[in-house]
A and B are shown apart, each in its own frame.
Chain A
Amino acid sequence: MKGIWIRVLLVLLLVSGLGLMPMLTGSAAGAGNLKAGFIYVGPIGDYGWTHAHNKARLIAEETFPWLETVYVESVPEAEVGTYIDRLIQQEKVDVIFTTSFGFMDGTLAAAQRYPDKIFAHCSGFKRAPNMATYMADFYQVYYLNGLMAGALTKSGKVGYVGAFPIPEVKRHINAFTIGVREVNPTAEVHVRWIFEWYNPAAAKEAAEALIKDGCDVFAFTEDSPTVVQVAAQNGLPSFGHYSPMYDFAPDYVVSGQIVHWEKFYLDFLAKVYAGMYTTTNLQDVDYWGLLREGAVEVGAKPGMIINPKFEEILRNIIVEDCICGGGYVDETCTCVEICNKYSVYDLVMLRLAQMKDFEMVFDPFTGPIYDRKGNLVIQPGTRATYDELLTMEWAVQGVVGPWPGEP
C-alpha cells in the first residue's frame, strides 16, 4: 500500500502546477553588447499574453543590432527568483523583464540581490533604483468593447470569463461594464472566474456555463482564443483578447483588445543602451501605456476597429448619451453634461478619438461612479487616479457574479 500513497502524493504535486516544465531558449542573435532576459508565465505559443510579449521581444531584437535576448517560458510564479539567478549567472544577461503580476515580489528580491543589473516588471507596483515597472493597460479598450457589447446583447446578459480576481482584471471588467451600461442601462455583465491565466478547457467550460445561464455576448481574460471559439460555435458575438483573434471567427468577432508591447520594450531598451536608464535611477520609472500612447489598440485585428459585419447593426442602434465625458469639466470642476444622440458606431469612434487625444478628454473612470453595493467610489467630476486604478477591488453596478476580495 506504500506504493499508492507515493502515487497519490506525486499526482497531487503534479496536478498542482508542475504540468508544464519551463525551458530556457536562447535567440540566434549574434554578438550583441546588451543582453536581455525575458521571463514568461505561460508558453509563447498561447496566442495570448505571452505570445504578445514574445512577438515584441522579436521586434526589439530585429530593430536593435546590438541586442541579444533569451527567454524562459511557463515559469511558475513562485519560482521566478531561481530563473533570474540562472539567467544572470549562466546567461550573463544585463536586463531582466518579468511579465506576470505574480513575479513582483520575486523580481524585487532579485533586484536587491543583483544591484548591478537592471530589472523591469510588468503589471506590478513595486519598484527599486534598479527596477522599473511597465504595463500596457486595456481598460479603455475594454470600455469601447463594452459599448458595442451593450448594443449587441439581446438577452441583456453579457458574459465575461475572468482569469484571476485581481485589480487588473477587475479594472477591465469594470471598464467593460461601464461601457455596456452606457448604451444599455439595464444590461448585466455576468462574471465567472477560472483562476488560471492559461487553461483553454477551463475557459471553454466557463463560457459554456455562461451560455447556459443566458449570456449572448462575450469578453474574457484568458490567454487563448477559446472563448471566441465557444461563442462562435453557438452563433454568438465576442471580443478578442491580446492577440488579433478575428481569424478564429470572422463572422462573430466584433472587436477586441490588441497590445503593442514593443512600444515599451523598444523605448526602454534604447534608453538602457544609451545610458539614460541605469541601476540607480529607475525608482520612479513606470510605463503606463494606454490608447494615447499607442501601446494598446481596439480592434478585431490590427486596423479593423469594428468588424464590418457588425458596422451596420451598430450604426442603426441609436443611444442618448449623457455621461460626463461627452461634455466637459468647467472651471469649478463640476461636470457639465451635454446629452446627445449617437449611433453606437459613432459613439465608439467619438470615445476612441477622445481617449487617443493628447489631452485625453475622456476616461471611462470618471465620477460619479458607484460600486454595486451603492458606495460612491469615484467623486463626481473626478477621474480615478493612477493608484485607484491599480488597486481597484470594487465592482461597478451591473456586474453580476462572485467577486472575491470585494470591499
Chain B
Amino acid sequence: MGWETWLIGTISRALAYGTPLLLGTLGEIYAERSGVLNLGVEGMMVMGAFSAFATAYTTSNPWLGLLVAAAVGGAFSLVHAFVSITLRANQIVSGLALTMLGLGLAGVLGRGWEGKPLAAALPSITVAYLAKIPGLGPSLFVEQNALVYLAAGLAILLWFVLYKTRIGISIRAVGDDPATADAMGVNVFRTRYLCVLLGGVLAGLGGGYLSVAYRPAWTEGMTAGMGWIVIALTIFAFWNPLLGLVGAYFFGALYHLSYRLQPWTSPELLKTMPYVFAILVLALVARGTLKRRMSAPAALCEPYIRGEE
C-alpha cells in the first residue's frame, strides 16, 4: 500500500508539472534543430499564460484561451525569427530581449487581471476504463488534464516527424549544415521560420496550460523560471522529442519529490536535486563518447547567409 500510493502520487504529479515543460521543450527542440536558439521561451510562455487567462475569463471558454495562447506565443516567436533569421542578429541577445519583453508586457497588460478566480477552467478528466488498471490507472488516468495527453501525443508525433520523415531530415540538415541543405534545394529561411514559429506556438500553449488548467489563475511572472528549465531540458534531451518527454516527466517527478521527501532529508539539498541532475547530464554531453552522436546541431546560433561559407 505504502509504496504504491507513493508511486501513483509521484507519477501523477510528474505528468501535471511536466506538461508545460514538455510543451516548451518540444518547441525549443524544433527551433534548435533548425539552428535557431530561442532564449525567449519564458517570455512566450508568460504571454501565453496571460492571453489564455484573459480570453478564457472573458469568453468562458478555456479551449479558446489555449488557442489564443498558441497564436500569441507564435506571433511573439516571429519577432525572434525576424530578428535572428532575416536580420541575422545575435540569437542570444534577441531571445533574452524576447523574455524581458514578454515578462514586462504580460505584467503591464495583466494589471487588473490578478486576483480574479477563473470560473471557466479547463476541467480535469478521468478516463473511466483505464483508471481501473492497478497502479498505472490511478497515476495516469485519474484527474489529469486533456492537455497532458495532447502533449505526450505531440512528443511522439514530433519525434516521428523529426527522424522518420523527409521534413525531419530537412530540418536537421538546416540545423547542421544550412549551406549544403540550401544547395540540395531545402528552403533554409522557410524551414527556420516555421520551426521557430512552432516553438512559439508550443511555448504559448504551455503557458496557457499554466493559467487555465494547472493553477488556474493569473499573477504576474507566474511562469517563475519555467522557460529556463525548458532551455536546460532541451540540452538534457539531446534535442530528441522522446527524450524530451522523459526529461520533462523526470524533472516533474524530482520536483514533486523535492517536497514529498522533506521530512526525511534536508529541504535545501532536495531543492537543488533537479538542477544538480541537469548539470550532471550536461557535463556528460559535453565530453566523451556521447559527444558526436548527441551534441548540439552544428549550425546552432549561426545565422545563415546565402553564398558565404
State the A residues within 8 Å of B (CB): 1, 3-5, 7-8, 10-12, 14-15, 19-21, 23, 42-47, 51, 74, 190, 192-196, 198-202, 204-206, 208-210, 212-213, 224-226, 229, 243, 247-249, 400-402, 404
Contact = CB atoms under 8 A, between A and B. Distances in A.
A3 B9 CA distance: 39
Given A46-B221, A195-B268, A247-B116, 20 more contacts: A3-B296, A5-B286, A7-B235, A15-B225, A42-B221, A43-B219, A44-B220, A192-B259, A195-B267, A195-B271, A198-B224, A199-B225, A200-B219, A202-B224, A202-B259, A212-B9, A212-B260, A224-B219, A249-B117, A402-B262
B104 A400 contact: no
Interface string B214-256: 1111011110111111011001000000000000000000011
A57 to B, nearest CB: 14
Nearest to A211: B9
Interface string B82-106: 0000000000100000001001100
A213 B17 CA distance: 18
B285 interface: yes
Contact of B263 (A14, A43, A402, A404): A402
Interface stretch (B107-115, B127-135, B169-177): B107-115
B240 to A, nearest CB: 16
A194 B115 CA distance: 22
Contacts of A23: 104, 107
A225 B103 contact: no
Nearest to A21: B100
Contact of B219 (A47, A204, A404): A47
B228 A15 contact: yes
B267 A248 contact: no
Given A3-B296, A3-B301, A7-B235, A226 B215 contact: yes
B300 interface: yes
Nearest to A43: B220
B268 A206 contact: no
Nearest to B92: A10
A1 B107 contact: no
Contacts of A46: 114, 219-221
B37 interface: yes
Interface residues of B, number: 56
Contacts, number: 153
Given A205-B17, A205-B256, A213-B260, A224 B92 contact: no
Contacts of B224: 19, 196, 198-202
B219 A45 contact: yes
Kindly name the residue among B116, B227, B262 whose own CB sees the greatest number of chain A CB atoms within 10 A: B262
B110 A45 contact: yes
Nearest to A403: B267
A45 B113 CA distance: 9
B13 interface: yes
Given A21-B103, A44-B220, A193-B262, A11 B214 contact: no
B282 interface: yes
Interface in B106-163: 107, 110-111, 114-117
B289 interface: no
B251 to A, nearest CB: 12
Given A5-B286, A15-B275, A205-B255, A45 B220 contact: yes
Interface in B34-76: 37, 39, 42
Nearest to B282: A8
22 contacts: A1-B286, A4-B235, A4-B295, A7-B235, A10-B92, A19-B221, A20-B221, A21-B104, A45-B219, A46-B220, A196-B224, A200-B222, A201-B224, A210-B259, A213-B260, A224-B222, A247-B115, A248-B117, A400-B263, A401-B262, A402-B263, A404-B267
A74 B220 CA distance: 10
Contacts of B266: 402, 404
B220 A19 contact: no
A404 B216 contact: no
A205 B104 contact: no
B180 interface: no
Contacts of A44: 111, 220
A22 B39 CA distance: 18
A308 to B, nearest CB: 18
A246 to B, nearest CB: 10
Contacts of B300: 3
A15 B232 contact: yes
Contacts of B17: 201, 205
B5 interface: yes
A229 B217 contact: yes
